[in-house]
A and B are shown apart, each in its own frame.
Chain A
Amino acid sequence: MRFKDIVAAVLIIIPFVFLLPVQTYDIANPMWGGVPFFWWYQMVWLVLCGVLFFIAANLLGRKS
């Protein structure tokens, strides 16, 4: 495996590591604009996943 592939794999795994333990974010506070933490935290992860996966896709794509 190339170093780039390993970095890409780590980037892809990160969201799974943060989202699978639901207990860690199943809380109401701190709220954001009146929205409980449980709801906005997962919305934030959508954005983070987009960023992480885009970097990973570029690393996986470049075949040298």
Chain B
Amino acid sequence: MLAIDGIVAFLALFVVFVFLGFYGGRWRRGDMSDLSEWALAGRRLGTGLVWFLVGADLYTAYTFISVPSGVYAGFHNLPGTGSLYFFAVPYVALTFGIAIVVMPKMWKVSHEHGYITSADFVRGTFDSRTLAMLVAVVGIIAELPYIALQIVGMQAVLAAMLAGIGDVTTIAEVSLIISFIVLAAFTYTSGLRGVTLTAVMKDLLIFLGIIAVLAVVVSSGGFGAAFHTATTSLSPYPGLNAGKAPEVYPTLPAVLINAYWSTFLISAVALYLYPHAINGVLSAQDPEKVRKSTSLLPFYGLGLGALAMFGVLAWGNAAAQTFLKQFPLAGTGVTQGLLVVPAMILSTLPSWFAGVALLGIFIGGLVPAAIMAISQANLLTRNIIKEFKPNLTPRGETTISKWASVVFKFIALAFVFVVASTYAIQLQLLGGIIIVQTMPAVFLGLFFRRMNKHSLIVGLLAGEFVGIYLVELKNSFGILYSSTYAVNPWGLLYIGLIALAVNLAIVAVWSLVLPRKEIMGVQAA
């Protein structure tokens, strides 16, 4: 467990975090009963703040818990396959290339028409309530497991901090509930402003932590030694290649090559379709600043790459290994993989500094959860409730959004308490498959306004059906455990790619082949 000075540092910084969250409401004060003030910080964030805010979407529990966990434990817990999870690096490298083309355009169109969500944009462009509501529902559903994943990450931090104390589960659950009440309270009062200030704090602490751990690691043998240990040590999995060396760790096993590129390509397309990412971009002051700051985000990805490699470093670090051995390697609950980054922090840094770094990771789950809940709330209010209650006042709209953001956070929390944490990670991968189906309507819609709206509706539904069906088929319609790769003649392929291909094919054939007259008719309607 973490020594007392570490826990003091952790708690002291948590108080600073809470202060920043509430103080945000007073900072650049605006009328908080206006939705674009509460949810988009008045669309006044400059380059630096947007960088941190969008960066906050990048450094989530996905980055510092799921990815290192996968690199450490491998695919299906098969030895030597951890390299598959390094897909996060090319994913982050490429996603910003797509974003600098698409997002400034999204900002301009949204600013012109006063859109706050992607579903607003779809409704305005294609004049289809059905399509807009579908996009909203898909966005809300896809965010839920993503928020749940943040909570799993926070659980891992608490489990690592409290390891060795008697009843960890209760303490951890109580801490999580308190944290969420605090988070819900300041998101309610301060909106995106509070979240933005805490995002800056979170990223600074995480970077400090990564650099400190890397400094210690490099000074004590470094990556070379870790890779050597990881690749030559015997397989730790009882029953699975037990006693054999994980011989393929340095590279990707050939059978996973198609899984690798299909996952990073679809993830790169999906990131900026998530409602929270769009929300972050729309809060910027100026589209060209968004473009420039986004283009520099691949540098930010270096920290993500370093964290992914913690999954290898943990094999080579004796202290981390001793710590991790207290936990099961696989199964439900808190496994060794989930604890890779906390373990590296605990075993390389002095305890007070470890407390600081662990707090960075803890609020690194809280901050994205807040942004995600805000964006879900906007979709619910503007694109679902308002469709049925068109005479909603702007003030009423904001009130509902504020409360909805509270409710969504607690739904996700309940989700984690009810469902095992491993399950939450798998569902997050399913979230990627689900959200990417909105790509034709949202991204292509920015450039090809003449697409047939019916083709977009049918394409989206078909993509969702194919995606979910293939995932269920792969998991024998039971609990999702491996979920997201379909076997085919070319090895394993990410199901998101197959489902998006079906979706795009329907949209393309329908929109291009149908008589031009009908397409023009839709345009005029």
Interface, chain A (partner B; CB < 8 A): 12, 15-16, 19-23, 26-28, 31, 33-36, 38-39, 42-43, 45-47, 49-50, 52-54, 56-58, 60-61
Contacts and interface: CB of A to CB of B under 8 A. Distances in A.
Given A42-B86, A47-B298, A54-B295, A35 B224 contact: yes
Contacts of A35: 223-224, 227, 309
B462 interface: no
A47 B90 CA distance: 11
7 contacts: A26-B254, A34-B225, A35-B309, A42-B89, A53-B100, A57-B100, A57-B291
Contacts of A53: 96-97, 100, 294-296, 298
A33 B226 CA distance: 11
Interface in B86-100: 86, 89-90, 92-94, 96-97, 100
A47 B89 CA distance: 11
Interface residues of B, number: 40
Q: Is the interface of B mostly helix, strand, loop or mixed?
A: helix
Given A19-B94, A47-B299, A38 B251 contact: yes
Interface string B293-315: 01111110110010001000000
A34 B83 CA distance: 16
Interface string B243-262: 00000001110100100110
B93 A45 contact: yes
A49 to B, nearest CB: 4
A43 B96 contact: no
A49 B93 contact: yes
B100 A47 contact: no
A23 B305 CA distance: 20
Nearest to A35: B223
B13 interface: no
Given A38-B251, A42-B305, A45-B93, 11 more contacts: A19-B93, A19-B94, A22-B261, A28-B250, A38-B83, A38-B252, A45-B89, A49-B298, A53-B97, A54-B295, A54-B296
A49 B97 contact: yes
The 10 closest A-B pairs by CB, nearest first: A34-B224, A57-B295, A36-B250, A53-B295, A49-B298, A50-B298, A28-B250, A49-B93, A50-B299, A54-B295
A27 to B, nearest CB: 6
A46 B299 contact: yes
Contacts of B309: 35, 39
A60 B294 CA distance: 13
Nearest to A12: B97
A43 to B, nearest CB: 5
Contacts of B223: 33-35
A36 B96 contact: no
Nearest to B303: A46
Contacts of B302: 43, 46-47
